[in-house]
Amino acid sequence: MFGLMVRFTCKDEVAAAGFDDLVARTGEQIRANEPGTVIYTVHRVDGRPLERIFYELYRDHAAFEEHETKDYVRVFLAERNQYLSATEVDRLDFVSGKGVDVEH
């Protein structure tokens, strides 16, 4: 397993709405086309309306690398910065959990 936790901070409420739309379009494609992406979730942060947390879990590092090659991911990466004032990325090494098949 390989994962990421990413905190995005949007510039303002208008930017947050644009970012959420971009995220929704990208997420549809991820769900439809990436069997190696185990979990790809986006969360609003309670009390911080401009922040979004992404939690991403991939079968392995190769599945993450494949994810990064997809045209819709490249569009997301190219367009996201117009909406954002900050991005923080943590790479995660899976230790244990519930609901995740670790046999892959």
**Total domain count, the chain:** 1
Average pLDDT over residues 31-58: 97
At residue 10, φ and ψ (nearest 5 deg) are -85, 155
Domain enclosing residue 59, as ranges: 2-91
In a domain, 101, yes or no: no
**8 Å CB contact between 10 and 43:** no
> pLDDT tier at 102 (50, 70, 90 boundaries)?
low
CATH number (domain holding residue 67): 3.30.70.100
In terms of DSSP bridges, do strands 48-58 and 84-93 run parallel, antiparallel, or are they unpaired? unpaired
Contact 50, 9 (CB under 8 A): yes
- Percent of the chain residues past pLDDT 90, beyond the cut: 88
Radius of gyration of the chain (CA): 14
Domain membership flag for residue 96:
no
3-state secondary structure (DSSP) of residue 82: helix
Using alpha carbons, list the distances in angstroms from residue 77 to 23, 53, 69, 73, 80.
Answer: 10, 16, 11, 6, 6
What pLDDT, on a 0 to 100 scale, did the predictor assign at position 98? 85
The yes-or-no verdict on residue 104 having pLDDT over 60 is no
